[in-house]
Amino acid sequence: MEIITLLKDKVAEVIKELYAAEVNDKMIQFQKTRKEFEGDFTLVVFPFLKIAKKGPEQAAQAIGEELEKNVDEISNFNVVKGFLNLKLTDAYWVDFLNAISKQEKFGIVAPETSGKTIMVEYSSPNTNKPLHLGHIRNNLLGYSVAEILKANGHKVLKVNLVNDRGIHICKSMLAWQKWGSNETPESTGLKGDKLVGNYYVRFDQEYKKEIAALMASGKTEDEAKDQANLIQEAREMLRNWEAGDIEVNELWATMNRWVYKGFDVTYKAMGVDFDKIYYESETYKLGKAIVLDGLEKGILIQKEDGSIWADLTADGLDHKILLRSDGTSVYMTQDIGTAHQRFSEFNLHHHTYVVGNEQNYHFQVLKLVLKKLGHDWSDNINHLSYGMVELPEGKMKSREGTVVDADDLIEEMVLTAKETSLELGKLEDMSDADASNVFNMIGLGALKYFILKVDPKKTMMFNPQESIDFNGNTGPFIQYTHARIKSVLRKAENAGFTVEGDVTNAIMLSKKEQDLTKLIFDFPETIAEAGRNHSPAVVANYIYDLAKEYNQFYHDHSVVKEENADKRAFRIQISKKVADTIKLGAMLLGMEVPERM
């Protein structure tokens, strides 16, 4: 944005010359010119009216005349009320393209130059079921946000907190004990996470039968849920686990190993990774110690049954349990311990939790409790609250076995990509191995783009068929555009035209050429905005706009067949930079873009 700095300096000089007044940087406000008006950047003139002692149009006209006269980069201007629209010269935009053509990662800030360390926690699965569609949104969001923050120059730590303890884990363990007949992933041919998930569903099925029987005998629903033998046994198993019972802990370790092996397969297929994995079973004890210390200091309260609570009524909330009466911990307990461990270990400047919006209250309480316990760094905790993923059939329910399995969905996406590509006659000249690789790129690209193009805060409807469309706002459209540009560049090279070297700035640019160059100019600010808002959707929709703009340019302009050598050189150069920018933007979303399609 060096041009903005230059323009601000020139505006300050003009104001001083015209009105003998000094203005500070905050008074000089530039924004992109709105599409319905001619111009590139717009100066807001209203802050200068008292100094100028003129109406907005007159002040804007006077400032515009001086800028046009004294700034070589300005070709002309126009005034709309109190707004001065400045249009830059074609030479400026050609020089800009020449300058960035030598930058392989234009828009990406050098690694770890901000001086800030940021942790991003995502995935956070329970070890009682396989990953599903909701987890896919979580993982893709977390991974992309981390990559975007890296691109803004921060040191980023990607972490996963595995919820490997608690009553839900005991439900799967108990069901396996009762009905498993010593099944293993090897004996069944199932991934470990799927096998364990089947027993979580089985527990729920049998539990519901017990509830129905108890209600038939005169119990209320709440009484039946509390008194059913299965839930009582699961609670006893949790108490035994926390007490260190050897048999229970061995079964817990075995079943968790099955699940972790299954998770690793899914993570690899999804293309996400982590710098460190935390386990709730290892962090909850620190949380318990911090809670007990808070009780001793009088910050927390203990009720008659022995349970420990935070009284948040003075803050407009309620009482929040931190330790149950039997001494077992809750999610909040381990989150207190984990947060304390991480800020101490890494001296974090910021910590982002990628967790669904049903946990908004949880993180509001977490920050408040940590603050009351004396940890001011709690102000640096951010909850990236995202909406749920819904299907045309309705919401998913894990315990009822109605979820969309992540592995099945990925496999379906790749298969659909293959069928669609073959139907359209694409990839016919590729080897089977190369075609298979591209099918995988397209399938995963379609999935990732469709999910990430939606603002994280919004609930979204996922439609697999709609996501794999080579036209419209989709991943395959963007991937195809990249492959098309690469084909153009290969043709240029085969014709003996260079795709490197500076282009003369004496050429005149068409409207489409100007618009495409200006869109590339916006890439660094797009990455910065995505980082500020923790929103991959900003990048996703930008690369779609860029791909769409290029296709319109390509429709209206010859590239390799352009007879004017200078124009041809510019068009080859702009094509290359569009391809580079699409690839970088896609990379921040975890997407790959093929060289051929």
pLDDT at residue 228, rounded to an integer? 97
pLDDT at position 401, please?
Answer: 46
Q: What number is the average pLDDT over the span 258-276?
A: 97
Per-residue pLDDT reduced to its tens digit, 463-497: 877 888 888 899 999 999 999 999 999 999 999 99
CA atoms within 13 A on the CB side of 174: 23
Residues 6+ apart with CB under 8 A from 229: 210
Q: What is the pLDDT of residue 282?
A: 87
Nearest CA to 56 out of 33, 28, 84, 36 is that of 84
Helix (H) / strand (E) containing 285? helix 280-296
Give pLDDT, residue 306: 96
- Total-model pTM: 0.92
Domain at 419-588: CATH code: 1.10.730.10
116, 196, 220, 338 from 370: Cα distances, Å: 22, 35, 38, 11
**Would you say residue 501 has pLDDT above 80?**
no
* CA dihedral angle for residue 332, residue 338, residue 340, residue 342, rounded to 10 degrees: -150
Question: Of all helices (H) and strands (E), which one includes residue 390?
Answer: strand 389-390
- Render pLDDT for 216-233 as a digit per residue (tens, 0 to 9): 999 999 999 999 999 999
Specify whether the CB–CB gap between 126 and 403 falls below 8 A.
Answer: no
- CATH topology agreement for domains 2-88 and 419-588: no
If pLDDT is split at 50, 70 and 90, which confidence band does 395 have? very low
Residue 591: pLDDT over 90: yes
pLDDT in tens, 68-88: 999 999 999 999 999 999 999
Among the listed residues 539, 444, 453, the one whose alpha carbon sits nearest the alpha carbon of residue 152: 539
Task: Please state the rounded mean pLDDT for residues 304-316.
Answer: 96
Among 190-194, 403-407, 431-435, name the most confident range.
190-194
What pLDDT, on the 0 to 100 scale, is given for residue 285? 86
Q: What is the pLDDT at residue 399?
A: 42
400 pLDDT higher than 50:
no
CATH of domain 122-390: 3.40.50.620
Predicted local confidence at residue 1, as pLDDT: 61
pLDDT for 329: 83
Rounded mean pLDDT, 132-142: 94
Q: Give the Å distances, CA to CA, from 571 to 97, 501, 519, 564.
A: 11, 13, 15, 11
Domain residue ranges in the chain: 2-88, 122-390, 419-588
Q: Is 235 helix (H, G, I), strand (E, B) or coil?
A: helix
Rounded mean pLDDT, 103-116: 95
Top CATH class, 2-88? alpha beta
Q: Residue range 157-167: average pLDDT?
A: 93
Token pair recorded at residue 480: 């195809």
For range 516-523, the mean pLDDT: 97
- B/e letters for 85-122, b = 16+ CB within 10 Å, e = fewer, are bbbbbbbbbbebbbebbeeeebbbbeeeebeebbbbbb
Strands lying side by side in the sheet with 301-302: 301-302, 308-311, 319-323
pLDDT band per the 50, 70, 90 thresholds, residue 61: very high
- For the chain, the straight-line distance linking the first and the last C-alpha, in angstroms and rounded, comes to 35
**Rounded Cα–Cα distance for residues 482 and 590 (Å):** 15
Of 82-86, 108-112, 306-310, 398-402, give the lowest mean pLDDT range.
Answer: 398-402
DSSP, collapsed to helix, strand or coil, labels residue 382 as: strand
Measured in residues, the chain has a length of 597
User: Looking at the predicted structure, is the pLDDT value of residue 398 above 80?
Assistant: no
> What confidence score (pLDDT) does residue 259 get?
97
Which long-range contacts link 58-66 to residues 24+ away (Cβ below 8 Å)?
A: 60/84, 62/18, 63/11, 63/14, 63/15, 63/18, 66/14, 66/17, 66/18
- Measure the CA–CA gap between 315 and 156, rounded to whole angstroms: 33
pLDDT value, residue 397: 46
Radius of gyration of the chain, Cα coordinates, nearest whole angstrom: 30
